[in-house]
Amino acid sequence: MSETRYSAEEVDSAVAALSDPERFGHAQEIVTHAAPGLQAVLGAALQAGGWFDAAHETQLAAASATDDPAERLAAVQTLIEEETRLGMLVGVSVGFELARELAAQRNDNEQGGEG
């Protein structure tokens, strides 16, 4: 399979096209539906990729400087869960639609249409 490369202009145009709420909405629906499975995959990939190393642990310790241990633990857990969920949903939704938009523009340009 050959590597697809995009120009800065193609990417800029595709990003601009994402402002259409219906296009992004569809991608967001798909990702929201798949979120439980995607969260498990993301967690495993982060663990396997070394994202939870000593530096990450140090940052968590600094972020958890609340006096009450139960509140501190709950706040850190919530922060991690929410950041992961939001980052995944937004990142995957945008990435999914961006890839589709880039492919559509490339196809239009190759067929002589406007892109």
Q: How far is CA 85 from the centre of its chain?
A: 9
12 φ/ψ angles, rounded to the nearest 5 degrees = -60, -45
Cα–Cα distance measured from residue 16 to residue 35, given in angstroms and rounded to the nearest whole number: 25
Enter the pTM of the model: 0.42
Q: How far is CA 92 from the centre of its chain?
A: 4
Per the prediction, the chain carries an average pLDDT of 75
Closest by Cα among 100, 96, 108 to 30: 96
Q: Where are the alpha helices (DSSP H) in 21-68?
A: 21-48, 54-63
Structural domain boundaries in the chain:
68-97
Cα–Cα distance measured from residue 96 to residue 56, given in angstroms and rounded to the nearest whole number: 28
Q: What is the pLDDT along the chain (115 residues), one digit of tens a residue?
A: 456 788 999 988 888 887 777 777 777 787 788 778 767 766 666 667 666 667 567 667 767 788 888 888 887 787 788 667 766 766 666 666 767 788 888 888 888 865 4
